[in-house]
Structures are given as C-alpha cells and as structure tokens.
Amino acid sequence: MTIAVIIVAAGRGRRAGGDMPKQWQDLSGKPVIARTLNAFRGVADQAVVVLNPDDMDYWETLGLHADQVVAGADTRDGSVRAGLAALAATPPRYVLIHDAARPMVSATVINDVIAALKDHAGAAPAVAVSDALWTGNAGLVTGTQDRAGLYRAQTPQGFHYDAIYAAHLVRKSPAADDVEVARDAGLDVAITQGDPRNIKITNPEDFSRVINMLGPDMDVRCGNGYDVHRFGDGDHVWLCGVQIPHGRGLQGHSDADVGMHTVTDAIYGALGMGDIGQHFPPSDPQWKGAQSHIFLTHAVGLARDYGYQISNVDCTLVCEYPKIGPHQPAMKAALAAIMDLPADRISVKATTSERLGFTGREEGIASIATATLVKS
C-alpha cells in the first residue's frame, strides 16, 4: 500500500495579514508550511507540494524538502489537479489532500482517515457543530438553524487515488473542497473524527491561537553515566555526597564517589560534553582527592550556562554492601542541594548483582545514572 500526500499551498491567504502569504509566515520559529509537512513525515510515501509560481523562491530559500514541488493554479481545484497529475507516473493507492494552513493536524486524525479508506472510496475528518446556529440579516437575528447532522469540515481529505483523479478530470465547476468533487462523482465519503486543534489559519488571531497550542518550543535532552570504583583500604565510602561507614573504602583519583560521578557524567552526556575525565583530567594533581561535589557543581553550571534546566536524575548503585536504603533520603538531599532541584525529582536506588561479577564478589561498586535536561 502506497500513500501520497498533496499539500496545497498555492493560495494568497490575504485575510491572515502579514507581508507574505500565511503558509510562509513564522510560527514559533518555523514556517507554517514546514510544520504542516512535518505532520506527514513517516506517514506518506510521497509528498507533493503545490505552490504559487511566485513562491518558488520562498521554498528554495527555506531549504524544505518534498518529493515533488509543482506550480498551482488560480483556483484550489486547479491546484489539486496539478498535484494529482504529478503523481500519475507512479500512482499511489491512496492520496491525502491537505491544506498547508492546517499545521496542527495530528497523527491520530491522519491515521483515522487512512484506516477509513479500506472500506470507503473517500474519508475526511470533521467536527460536529455544537454551537447554536442563527440566521441573520442587517445585524439582527432572524431565526435559528437546526444543527443536527452539521459538521465543520477539515483536512486531510483522503481518497483512492484513481477515483479522485478521475473525478477531478471531469469536474467543470469550482468546488468547496475535494469531498464535494468526490460526492458529485458518486464516491462515498466517510466522516472520521476531527480535532478542534486542527484549525485552518485564516485570520491574524489564528496565529496566536496556534502558538498557544504549540506551547514552548522545548529542547529535551537525555544523558547516561556509568562508573566503577574498586574497594581498597579505608573505613568509609562516599556515595552520592554522603559518607557511609564501611570496612573498606573506594579507590580513585578523587574521593571516588561513584554515584555522584555517574550523575555528573549523565549531565555532561546530555550536553554532548564528554565526561569528568575531560573536564578534570586525572593526570592533573590538583584534582587528587578532590570532593566530587566540585565536578557535579561544574556540570550543573554548564547546563545552566547553555540555557538548560535539569528536569530529573535517576541514579542506581550496584553493590552487595554497604546497604543503601537507610541512606537514600540523605543522598537525595545532598544531590538536590547541589543541583538546586526538589528531592522528588531525584531518584537514588540500589540493587545487587546476585553475587555475580566483581560487585557480587564485593570487589567494588558500580553505578549508572540518567539525567534529563530541558530548554524551552
């Protein structure tokens, strides 16, 4: 089964205001058309974009990608026909026809249309009208209209390619949309569930509505850290900033706090900035015996400098002894203080290796940690 999408973007959209057609205007850092195209990535096998001939420079400047870019016509019907004709050489089974000015279409809406095409020649999303409807004249209400059976049409409108192309080729008059073309040709069109968020940008205030729906343009990053320290002479260990009495100590160039090291490396990893060894080389004698909070503080500061907030941290200690449970609250509190995070965003837990491997033989302690960073 092959699926193609035609993005109709040849209109002028003058009601939306601005110094360029609405499909090219910025929408939280990306052009409207770019967000619309992204909605169909991974769904359609082919993407055809229909542009006004005067807008080809916009497309080239923005560096957007589609399988084909074709010139549209003066009418929407003509533009759709141009898109359908572009697919004729390698016709898909299904075609989705979508307005470039609907950038908020969801995967659920798209997939519901595709699913309905298994049993129908056409399918299109719609939202049932829920508001009272009036008739009016000269600014006065003249009556009411029964809203039963009324829907607000949306796109993408999907069809069996051969059927809708044939319907368009014999069409002699303008149509409100492709559903009208299909029905006039005798094709059945199923109604699928639309989405109130799938609005068509028409007026200037619609940009604000969509921006509010998008929310902050977030950059979310995840990093992992892993570390091991062996046991040696000593009477305590440092784990996640807490000193714990023990018959042996952990060996390392610094204080060998294996838990804090992995949390630090997880943050560096999320930033794409290596590990502790790159920032605090063990060959540098000034770091011998250093307390690990120095490293973690540095990683946290880097994250902040680059505009990221640490969302949460999860650290797992792998050892037979010492027992970690009694010290977990203190460990979370120590890490929370350094990272300026609420303790409920920090997890410190422990597991054994069932007496297997070096940790099972009590030769050392391993740790793994994950950190999530967010920039909005």
What pLDDT, on the 0 to 100 scale, is given for residue 217?
Answer: 67
What pLDDT, on the 0 to 100 scale, is given for residue 172?
Answer: 86
Domain with CATH 3.90.550.10 in the chain: 3-214
**Stretch among 66-70, 81-85, 303-307, 366-370 having the lowest mean pLDDT:** 303-307
Question: How buried is residue 360: exposed, middle or buried, by Cβ count under 10 Å (0-12/13-18/19+)?
Answer: middle
DSSP state of 100: T
Rounded-to-integer distance, Cα 174 and Cα 157, Å? 17
pLDDT, averaged across the chain: 94
pLDDT value at 300 more than 90: yes
What is the average pLDDT across 26-36? 91
What pLDDT, on the 0 to 100 scale, is given for residue 376?
Answer: 64
Domain with CATH 3.30.1330.50 in the chain: 219-375
Write down the CATH superfamily of domain 219-375: 2-C-methyl-D-erythritol 2,4-cyclodiphosphate synthase (3.30.1330.50)
pLDDT value at 284 more than 90: no
Helices (H) and strands (E) in the chain, counts: 12, 19
Produce one character per residue of 67-77: b if its CB has 16 or more CB atoms within 10 Å, e if not.
eebbebeeebb
What is the average pLDDT across 323-334? 95
Query: What's this model's pTM, rounded to 2 decimal places?
Result: 0.64
Question: Which of helix, strand or coil describes residue 269?
Answer: helix
Convert the pLDDT of each residue in 139-173 to its tens digit. 999 999 999 999 999 999 999 999 999 999 999 88
pLDDT value at 104 more than 90: yes
Structure tokens at 146: 């029964």
**Stretch among 157-171, 180-194, 279-293, 320-334 having the lowest mean pLDDT:** 279-293
The dotted CATH code for 3-214 is 3.90.550.10
